[in-house]
Amino acid sequence: MPAPTLVFDGDCAFCTSAVGVARRVLPASVTVVAWQFADLAALGVTAERARQEVLWVDPDGTVSGGAAAVARLLRAAGLPWSVLGVLISLPPLRWVAPPVYRLVAANRHRLPGGTPACRMPPPEDRRRT
């Protein structure tokens, strides 16, 4: 893989809106793709993981998910965004970022740009899909 890849939920309006902002600040070399259209096997990720969190896949195949993926995205965006990405990667923000990410993900259907289709399936439904 020659460049990093950002993998997001293309069925979620909130995620799609957030990725629209990310595309404006990320270098053109970063591939941005909805998991529904990605070659997940080639990226080394499962559909289950891609359903649950945003993913950042480095050219060496290292996969970061959730808050860590957001931190990687921000670091790749350059100044001033990279400062925030570094801060999210350091204690104490590194400890707070994952629960905040999960809170946002669980409520993305309630956030600006979100729709009922953005709602995460309950855990028991995730096992069936």
pLDDT tens-digit profile of 78-94? Answer: 999 999 999 999 999 99
In the chain, domain spans: 5-120
What pTM, to 2 d.p., does this model score?
A: 0.83
List the one residue out of 16, 18, 20, 22 whose CA is nearest residue 35: 16
The pLDDT value given to residue 12: 83
62 Cβ contact list (under 8 Å, min separation 6): none
The pLDDT value given to residue 127: 45
At what angle are helices 93-106 and 67-76 packed, to 10 degrees?
110
Tell me how far apart the alpha carbons of residues 27 and 15 are, in angstroms, rounded to a whole number: 19
Question: Which segments of the chain have a pLDDT < 50?
Answer: 125-129
The pLDDT value given to residue 13: 82
The pLDDT value given to residue 1: 60
The pLDDT value given to residue 129: 43
List the one residue out of 83, 55, 57 whose CA is nearest residue 70: 55
- Answer whether 115's CB lies under 8 Å from 108's CB: no
